[in-house]
Structure formats: structure tokens, C-alpha cells
Amino acid sequence: MVPSPDISWTAGFRQDFAKKKTKHPEQGKIVRSAYRPFAKQFLWFDKQTNERTYLQPQLFPYPEAKNLQISIVLGSRQFSCLMTDVVPDIQLSFNAQCFPLYWYEKLDDDSPEKYGLDFYEIRDRADSHGYVRHDAITDTALNVFRAAYPALSITKEDIFYYVYGILHSSEYRRRFANNLTKELPRIPLARNFKAFEQAGRKLAKLHLNYEKVKPWDVTEIGDPTNPGRTVRMTYPRKVKDPDTGKKVADLTVLQVAENLTIENIPLRAYEYVVNGKTAIGWLIDRYQVTTDKKSGITNDPNDYSDDPRYIVDLVEKVIRVSVETVDIINGLPKLDEIGKPANWPQEWN
């Protein structure tokens, strides 16, 4: 368990600054971060300028370090989780705690006695930056899962994706709703391990690569080649709520830019909620022009890319991510828990 850092006031470097070809002595401290769901920003990441980094430098010790983390909501909010492959902000998931696939150790060549007889084996595994990558999932956990599912050749990576699948289970979230507001998730042994592991992999692929998926097939009204600027996305139409009789926003129609509106957004896309808001809602919230009152700095999402369709395409891609996420969740089997194997550690009870 690793807390997410509070990176709020150092996130948000302009993309053109972060991509400058001129090398700065501190250029290696500029990394991509997951500031909010489906909203990445560049971050100056070090212990001197970030308010609280916690153990995140052991998970992403340098910009090229590869890792995955499951960021979960703790506390009073509705439970949710999101996987990220970059440094997460503490509010990526509300007051987040993170569960990584790996952690990195800086090899201390000057004190080989700390490692005992394993020093030379560990040194051989060090990368070009002098770090050794370790599995965050323990051998104990691996042995428990292998004992529980003897017919399967389970790896630590399989367990990681299995956990991600379990955490998205509607049955799991409903049955353990009270526990999930008070303590860290406890992972049951579902009878169909492969179903949850494969679902976890599919969900991870969607959530990590949301900018690369095929856009959802919507109807575009306006100029598709020159959609214009996005100042703030809005729902331009109203419909009558059949239950209350009041006029409410028509969620199937969204004006994304000044010259382009998209129609035929499937309503089930709004069933995917992460950190208290729909994925589409996060885009509306983050991809708008805002000016900080104290500093006077303007954050303009139209500067994020030279592609005039960047925001439009992103919205259509996140619609697909939302719909397919809901479909995967709805297709999960029941937990149908099996008994604990004989090697279940006492401290896990």
C-alpha cells in the first residue's frame, strides 16, 4: 500500500515547456502525471518541490521507469479504483491509496554488506540507472494463489490483474460496501479466477490506453475538420424527466467545441463512475479554459495538442472506454468464493 502524493500545486506545466528540445539540468524531473481521471498533466516531481511524495519515488524513480498502480478511493466516497502507469495525484482517486506491481531499490555499491550473499545477484539485476526492480506482490501471496488454483499456472502479474477485475465487480462492491469505507480491500478467492483476471486485463488496457482506442461512433453536427476552440463543454438540449416532469439536460448530445456538437451518446456511458464522477464528466470538468485568480495563469486545453480534433476525439474515445468498461463489468461472473488453502497465512485473517 502506497499513498498517492499531493502534487496539486506542481502539476500542470505547459506541454510545450515539457517538450522543449533544449536540455535543462533538471529536465529529468519533468514527468507525466495522472492528475484526475482521464486528465494527465506534466509534473515537476521531486521531494523538494512536491508537498508530499511518500513512497512514490520508489515506484517511479526516474522518468523511464515502468510500473502500474491501482489507485483506490478510501473514506466516505463511493468506492472506485483506476489503474495508472504514471505518477498519480492523491486526488486521482479521493485520498488515494495505491497498490503497485513493482517497486524500485537504488543499489548501494558502497555498502555491499547490507545485501549479504545476495549482493552480486542483485547487482546483476540493476538497470542502467542503478536501480533494482522488485515485485510488490510477495512470494507468500503467489504461493497462496497457486495452492488455491492448482490447475492454473498463476504468475504475480496474473494476480495483479485479477485484483483489478475483482475491485470492479458489482457484487463485490455491494457486499462489502461498508467495509470499503473503513478499511483496505480484502480480496476474495473467486471460483473463476481466469474470468476476473482476463476482465482485469481488458479493463487495464482500456483505462491505460484511453487516448489510443477507436473513437465511439457518434453523429457529429458542425465542422468536423475545424471544430474550433473548446472553452467549456455543455449539454445544449433539454428533455423532460419522465419521473419529475422537469426539464433536464439531454445527455445524448454534447457541444464539445464552438463549431461541433456530438449526438447519439449512449446513456450507458454515464454508468461508468470513477472518483465520484462519470468519465465524461471528468473531461467536461478538466478540459475547459480556466484562469487561476491568484497567479493569473490560464490553463487552456486547446494548447495541449496541435491537432484541432484532439479534444473531440478524446471525448469520443472516452465514450468508448466508458461503454466497454460497463459491458465488461456487467459480464463478470458471481464471486462464488472457494475455501482458503492450507497455506493461508494466519496474519491475513
pLDDT in tens, 21-67: 445 445 567 888 999 999 998 888 877 777 778 888 899 998 889 99
- Residue 15's pLDDT band (boundaries 50, 70, 90)? very low
User: In the predicted model, what is the mean pLDDT of residues 88-111?
Assistant: 85
In this prediction, residue 16 carries a pLDDT of: 44
Rounded CA gap, 118 and 88, in Å?
33
199 contacts 165 by C-beta, under 8 angstroms:
yes
Please state, in angstroms and as integers, the Cα–Cα distance from residue 306 to each residue in 225, 241, 303, following that order.
13, 40, 7
Total-model pTM: 0.89
The chain-wide mean pLDDT, for the chain, equals 89
What is the length of the chain? 349
Rounded CA gap, 189 and 258, in Å?
51
Rounded CA gap, 95 and 89, in Å?
9
Please state, in angstroms and as integers, the Cα–Cα distance from residue 82 to each residue in 22, 99, 205, 270, 333, following that order.
34, 11, 11, 16, 20
Long-range contacts of 150-157 (CB under 8 A, 24+ apart): 152/193, 152/194, 154/193, 156/101, 157/101
**Largest Cα–Cα separation, the chain:** 75
Collapsed DSSP state (helix, strand, coil) of residue 305: coil
In this prediction, residue 116 carries a pLDDT of: 58
In this prediction, residue 339 carries a pLDDT of: 95
Rounded CA gap, 210 and 206, in Å?
6
Percent of the chain, pLDDT > 70?
Answer: 88
Rounded CA gap, 208 and 88, in Å?
12
- Residue 311's pLDDT band (boundaries 50, 70, 90)? very high
- Residue 235's pLDDT band (boundaries 50, 70, 90)? very high
In this prediction, residue 150 carries a pLDDT of: 97
User: In the predicted model, what is the mean pLDDT of residues 120-142?
Assistant: 87
